[in-house]
Amino acid sequence: MVVDQAFVNKDLEINFQQRKIAVKWFNSFEEITHYLSSEIPMDASIGIGNSQTLKKMKILEAFLTKGNVVYDKTIGKTHEEVKSLKRKALLTDYYISSANAISEDGRIINIDHSGNRVAAMHYGPEKVFLIIGKNKIESTYVEALKRARNIAAPLNAKRARMNPPCVKVGKCVDCLSQERVCNFISIIEGQHVEGRLTVLIANEEAGF
Ligand code: SF4
């Protein structure tokens, strides 16, 4: 499928390439699912980072149907199962997740509660795919960080039925709540291994 060129941001792509991070553009999330299905072999193990975007895409179901071994914490029925799935996802062939924001200068920003998702992005899985909608692109790293703290974190907290102050006031107040959701703030500045991390961007909106 030919991608709408008006959507492709070449400057962003070059800025990521200079940091050894690849960027690919797609018209839709459905196209991304097809792309991943063709890229990831059936005998590969896959870790999945919990994400509203991936849920909407039904990525877990797609790869379970294909026959891959998939480690996704949302399959776990007990605390111990969830913990085990999170740990196993750290040493997979592929890791698929979303990100809270990217900046046009080539950075990837994430906020994480327990840290498993950002840990896998940083090191462990051989290849990492991060899927985002166009709503998560910000002009600068400062704006991307603001997005992660003031939009993504409160909405994620609400979704997880946690109640730090940002759920009520709608923005980050840099709390020390026992229910703080942003114990880890990650900024991926680049990659040591070229070809390990690819950002897949859909010309649609999803997630937060
Ligand atoms: S530090 Fe607290 S208030 Fe700020 S985003 Fe995180 S949980 Fe919400």
> Residue 1 pLDDT more than 80?
no
Q: Mutation test of ligand 1: which of 113, 162, 175 has the most ligand atoms closer than 8 Å to its C-beta? A: 175
- Ligand 1 centre and the CA of 147: distance in Å? 12
What is the rounded average pLDDT of the residues 52-62?
A: 93
> Residue 32 pLDDT more than 90?
yes
| Position 4 confidence tier, pLDDT thresholds 50, 70, 90 | confident
Task: Find all residues with CB under 8 Å of 187, minimum gap 6, and list them.
Answer: 107, 108, 109, 141, 145
Reported as a single tens digit per residue, the pLDDT across 65-96 is 999 999 999 999 999 999 999 999 999 999 99
Reported as a single tens digit per residue, the pLDDT across 115-172 is 999 999 999 999 999 999 999 999 999 999 999 999 989 998 998 899 999 999 989 9
Q: What are phi and psi of 110, to 5 degrees?
A: -140, 145
